Structure 1
Amino acid sequence: MEYFLKSERLGFTYWNDEFLHYAIDLWGNPQVSRFVVSEGVFSEADIKERLLLEIKNKRLYGIQYYPVFLLEGDIFVGCCGLRPYDTGKSVCEFGFYFKPEYWGKGFAQEAGMKVIEYALDTLNISNIYAGHNPNNKASERALKKLGFEYIEDTFYEPTGLYHPLYMLKQKKIFDKEL
């Protein structure tokens, strides 16, 4: 597999039409989707639509929630990346989804650090926001470890809940000022 970005254990590539099986494996898993949609699961049509949105975001904005693979064995583990938040102001939303068998192994932290570094150093993103389902405490901890700070709760229609919204604040991360 060819990767445009690598961390110690992970490789990042781009979603494409041939990756539908990876998208189904990730977003079709009820343990993953239960925090994303009120129904608890995505239909196959929803997953295809989500995949097409990621491909479109890459084409239009040069970013997406990049598919992430273990470097050892090219094993698909999830995705981590950026989405447009306010396209006119170079503002992005950061996020990640990992398959349950890879939870608790530090992959969200490792992938997040690499994506944030890439956003700041290569893409010159000015502001990065993130959110999570209020019931997903693991995502909350991961975002805080990455340097995100809570700013407000905002309504998220797909779950019908108010989700905490965070912003990557001006502080030292990765030994540099953000």
Structure 2
Amino acid sequence: MNIYIETERLILRKFVEEDYERLFLLDSDPEVMKYIGIAPLTKTEESKEVVKMIMQQYEDNGFGRLAAIEKESGLLVGWSGLKLHIAEINGHQNFYDLGYRFLPETWGKGYAFESGKASLEFGFNDLNADAIYANAHSENIASNKTLTKLGFENKGEFTEPDGICFWYELKKENFKH
């Protein structure tokens, strides 16, 4: 499945191997990784492996997280999109999961909302998902606000090693285009 989504300010496209350097900028930043539950990357080789893992999702499932390219600069400024979450989390398994991560210099620009909405449209229209899920660390105020603004409903909380996370659900019939 060829995935290329254009929003007002972003292009969401499949990751390619050359994206690893920009991805390293993102995943090595302690502020970006603060609420993710994994340590920041320390070597570019690690980001090469992350890109390979994402590209494998495309092979296995036909879709996966997408590189977010800022139209104005032409640079990869983060990622956004859906993935099929196979492993169990909060009692759920084999579900569509919305996620996003952006460089700090883009925070406050609304890119998570903009790309999240486009990803939800893809999930409900192209993948014909009945529901899409997301989670965010309870202390990550910005991400929790974004998920609520996108129409997700907080369905409770669960504990991860790094703290309490909120569990969100958005059903197709409740999605506002």
Q: Give the TM-score, by structure 1 length.
A: 0.85
1:142 matched residue in structure 2 = 146
Q: Secondary structure at the match of 2:166?
A: strand
What's the CA shift for 1:161? Answer: 2.0
8 Å Cα contact 2:19-2:76 kept in structure 1: no
For 1:78-93, list aligned pairs within 5 A.
78-86=78-86, 91-93=95-97
What's the CA shift for 1:38? Answer: 5.3
Which AA in structure 2 matches 1:173?
Answer: K
Aligned counterparts of 1:47 and 1:152: Cα–Cα separation in 2: 32
8 Å Cα contact 1:91-1:126 kept in structure 2: no
- Runs of 5+ unmatched residues, structure 1: none
What's the CA shift for 1:146? Answer: 0.2
Aligned counterparts of 1:14 and 1:79: Cα–Cα separation in 2: 10
What's the CA shift for 1:22? Answer: 1.6
What's the CA shift for 1:70? Answer: 1.4
Number of residue pairs matched by the alignment:
168
The superposition leaves residues 90-120 of structure 1 with CA deviations (integer Å, 9 ceiling, x where unpaired) of 7311010010011111111111111111111
Matched, 1:60 2:63: no
1:124 matched residue in structure 2 = 128
8 Å Cα contact 2:24-2:41 kept in structure 1: no
8 Å Cα contact 1:91-1:125 kept in structure 2: no
- Runs of 5+ unmatched residues, structure 2: 88-92
What's the CA shift for 1:46? Answer: 4.4
8 Å Cα contact 2:17-2:48 kept in structure 1: no
Aligned counterparts of 1:48 and 1:163: Cα–Cα separation in 2: 28
What's the CA shift for 1:73? Answer: 3.2
Aligned counterparts of 1:86 and 1:173: Cα–Cα separation in 2: 27
Q: Note closer, same or farther for the CA distance 1:99–1:80 as it changes in structure 2 (3 Å cut).
A: same
Aligned counterparts of 1:38 and 1:120: Cα–Cα separation in 2: 29
Q: Secondary structure at the match of 2:37?
A: coil
8 Å Cα contact 1:90-1:125 kept in structure 2: no
Identity of aligned residues (%): 26
Q: Give the TM-score, by structure 2 length.
A: 0.85
**Structure 2 residue corresponding to 1:114, chosen from 98, 106, 118:** 118
1:9 matched residue in structure 2 = 9
CA RMSD of aligned residues (A): 2.1
